[in-house]
Amino acid sequence: MTDPILIIGAGPVGCVAALRLVRAGIPVILVEKDAQLQDDLRASTFHPPTLEMLDELGLTEGLLRQGLRTRTWQIRLHETHEKAEFDLDAIRSDTQYPFRLQVEQRVLCALAAEQAAKEPLLDLRMGTQLIDFSQTADHVVARLQTRGGAEQTVRTPFMIAADGARSFVRDKLALNFEGLTYPETTLLVTTDFDFAAHLPGLSNVNYVWYAHGTFSLLRLPDIWRCSLYPDEGESDDEALQAENIERKLQRIVPRDTPYTIREARPYRIHQRIVDDYRIGRILLVGDAAHLNSPSGGMGMNGGVHDAFNLTDKLPPVLAGKAPIERLDLYTRQRQPVAKQQILQQAHQNRTRMQQRDPAARRAELQRLQGIAADPVQAREYLLRSSMITGLREAATIAA
Ligand SMILES: Cc1cc2nc3c(=O)[nH]c(=O)nc-3n(C[C@H](O)[C@H](O)[C@H](O)COP(=O)(O)OP(=O)(O)OC[C@H]3O[C@@H](n4cnc5c(N)ncnc54)[C@H](O)[C@@H]3O)c2cc1C
C-alpha cells in the first residue's frame, strides 16, 4: 500500500479522480477548501463517453435518474424558426448513450460524495485548503489549512491539482497559461418558463441567432437556462438588473406577465491551456489545466476524461511496474486533444453564435443543415461534438 495520493479540489474532476483511484486500491486524501461541495450554476451537459466512464464508478444511473435525455440539439434563427438540428441517433452504434444528458454538475459532485463516504480508502477533508507545497524527486509535501486555521502537513507520492480555473497550484508553479479572455460577459439566467410551448420545434439544447445578437436555451428537468448578453453600451451591473433581464427575455417570447427568474449570474469566458500536465510529481487535471467557452458543453466533460486517463496510468507507476515517465503519456494524450478538439470546437461554437451578419448566418445555417441531412457527415460531426473523436484520437497516441 502506498502513501495516499493527495487531490486538491472536490469539484467534479477531483471527485472522479479520487473515486477512480480508491477503486484501484490506492488511498486518497481529497481536500476541498469550501465547507460544502459546489452548488453553483455551471456544467449542465454530459456527453456520451462521459456517461460511459461514470458508469464504471456507478454514477451514471443516478445522473440518468435526475437528468433529461436529449437526443437532438439545434442551431436556429429566432425570427423564422429555421434550424439545423442534429440527432444523436446517428451515433447509436458508437455509444450506449446516444444522447446528451442535461443535468447539473452539482448532481455529479453530490453522487460522488455519497460514494466517497462509503470508501474506506478515501479521506475527504472539507474546509481544508492547500496553502503551500514543495516537491523533491520522490515526493510532494503539502501544507494544508483548515477553516479554523489549524495547519497539517501531508507527504504524498503524487499530488493531483483539480483546483479549478483559478488553480493555486498552477499559479505557484508559475505555469504558462496562454490564451485569451473573450470580451463579452455572459449572463446565465434560469427560469421555469416553458420556452418549448411557445417556440415551434424547439429542442432541449438550442443555440439561437436573433436580431439583437445571440442567446441559448438549455432545458434541465425543472428549469430552463438562458444565456444572454449585455446590449451594446450596457454595463454588466445594468445587464443584471431585473428589468433588463426581463426586457431580454421578452424579446425571446413576449408575454403579458413577467418572467419568474430563479437565478442570474454573470460570467467571463476564457480560452487557456498549460503546456504540460505533469510537473514532476504534480499532475494537473480539469480547469486547472485548460479553460474553454462553455459553448458545446465540453469543459467538465474534458476534465472527467483527464481524470480517467490519468488514473489509468498512475496505478502501475505507484506499483513500480512503470517508470514515472509513463505519466508523460497522460499529457501527450490529453493536452493536444484539449487544444485541438475541445478548445477549438468551443471557440468555433462561440464564434459562430457571435456572428451578426445575416448573410453569413444564413450561409452557416445552410452548411449545418447540409451536414445534418447527410447520415455520414452527421455521424462524423456528432462524433466530434460528442467528444468521441477526441478520445479515439488520444487512444492512438502510444507510449
Ligand atoms: C456557466 C458555465 C456553464 C458550463 N457548462 C458546461 C457544460 O455544460 N458542460 C461542461 O462539460 N462544462 C461546462 N462548464 C465548465 C465546467 O463547469 C468546468 O469545466 C468544471 O467545473 C471543471 O471542474 P474542475 O473539477 O476541474 O474544477 P472546479 O469545478 O472549479 O472545482 C475546483 C474545486 O477546487 C477547490 N479548490 C480551489 N483551490 C483550492 C485549494 N487551494 N485547496 C483546496 N481546494 C481548492 C474549489 O473550491 C473547487 O471546489 C461550464 C462552465 C460555466 C462557467
Instruction: Please give the model's pTM, rounded to 2 decimal places.
Output: 0.97
Q: Is residue 130, in this structure, part of any structural domain at all? A: yes
Q: Whose CA is nearest to atom 53 of ligand 1?
A: 42
Name the percent of the chain lying above pLDDT 90: 97
Q: Is residue 94, in this structure, part of any structural domain at all? A: no
pLDDT value, residue 2: 79
In the DSSP assignment, the letter for residue 231 is P
How far, in Å, is the centroid of ligand 1 from the Cα of 192? 25
How far, in Å, is the centroid of ligand 1 from the Cα of 182? 18
Do 168 and 217 reside in the same domain of the chain? no
Cell reading at 334: 490529453
Count of beta carbons in the 10 Å neighbourhood of residue 323: 10
List pLDDT tens digits, range 220-244. Answer: 999 999 999 999 999 999 999 999 9
How far, in Å, is the centroid of ligand 1 from the Cα of 319? 30
pLDDT value, residue 41: 86
Do 55 and 132 reside in the same domain of the chain? yes
The CATH number assigned to the domain holding 218 equals 3.30.9
Q: Is residue 93, in this structure, part of any structural domain at all? A: no
In the DSSP assignment, the letter for residue 357 is -
Number of structural domains, the chain?
2
User: Residue 70 — φ and ψ, nearest 5°?
Assistant: -125, 105
Do 61 and 154 reside in the same domain of the chain? yes
Do 279 and 350 reside in the same domain of the chain? yes
Do 202 and 221 reside in the same domain of the chain? yes
Do 170 and 30 reside in the same domain of the chain? yes
Do 106 and 150 reside in the same domain of the chain? yes
Euclidean distance between CA atoms 59 and 55, whole angstroms: 6
Do 168 and 316 reside in the same domain of the chain? yes
Where is the domain boundary, 215, 247, 268? 268
In terms of residue numbers, what domain contains 214?
A: 182-268
Ligand 1 atom closest to Cα of 286? 26
State the average pLDDT over residues 300-316. 98
Does an H or E element contain 215, and which? strand 213-219
In the DSSP assignment, the letter for residue 22 is H
**Residue 35: which pLDDT band, with cuts at 50, 70 and 90?**
very high
Question: Do residues 308 and 162 make contact, with C-beta atoms less than 8 angstroms apart?
Answer: no
The CATH number assigned to the domain holding 62 equals 3.50.50.60
Euclidean distance between CA atoms 102 and 108, whole angstroms: 12
In terms of Cβ atoms closer than 10 Å to its own Cβ (0-12, 13-18, 19+), residue 288 is buried
How far, in Å, is the centroid of ligand 1 from the Cα of 34? 13
Q: Whose CA is nearest to atom 14 of ligand 1?
A: 43
List pLDDT tens digits, range 36-47. Answer: 999 888 999 999
Ligand 1 atom closest to Cα of 301? 11
How far, in Å, is the centroid of ligand 1 from the Cα of 45? 13
Where is the domain boundary, 268, 283, 305? 268
How far, in Å, is the centroid of ligand 1 from the Cα of 247? 30
State the average pLDDT over residues 70-98. 97
pLDDT value, residue 205: 97
Q: Whose CA is nearest to atom 21 of ligand 1?
A: 300
**What does the mean pLDDT of the chain come to?**
96
Query: Pick from 269, 19, 51: which is nearest to 123 by CA?
Result: 19
**Residue 1: which pLDDT band, with cuts at 50, 70 and 90?**
low
Q: Is residue 377, in this structure, part of any structural domain at all? A: no
Where is the domain boundary, 211, 238, 268? 268
Name the percent of the chain lying above pLDDT 70: 100
Query: Pick from 276, 281, 279: which is nearest to 157 by CA?
Result: 281
Q: Is residue 207, in this structure, part of any structural domain at all? A: yes
In the DSSP assignment, the letter for residue 5 is E
pLDDT value, residue 331: 97
Do 124 and 247 reside in the same domain of the chain? no
Do 324 and 346 reside in the same domain of the chain? yes
Give the residues surrounding ligand 1 with Cβ less than 6 Å away. Answer: 8-14, 31-34, 38, 42-45, 105, 129-130, 162-165, 168, 188, 267, 286-287, 294, 297-301, 303
Q: Is the pLDDT of residue 84 over 90?
A: yes
List pLDDT tens digits, range 315-337. Answer: 999 999 999 999 999 999 999 99
In the DSSP assignment, the letter for residue 199 is S
Do 282 and 343 reside in the same domain of the chain? yes
Query: Pick from 49, 48, 39, 33: which is nearest to 12 by CA?
Result: 39
Q: Is residue 157, in this structure, part of any structural domain at all? A: yes
User: Residue 274 — φ and ψ, nearest 5°?
Assistant: -80, 160
List pLDDT tens digits, range 257-280. Answer: 999 999 999 999 999 999 999 999
The residue whose CB lies within 8 Å of the most ligand 1 atoms, and thus the one to mutate among 15, 220, 287, is 287
Ligand 1 atom closest to Cα of 162? 26
Q: Is the pLDDT of residue 349 over 80?
A: yes
Query: Pick from 352, 384, 350: which is nearest to 181 by CA?
Result: 350
Do 150 and 263 reside in the same domain of the chain? no
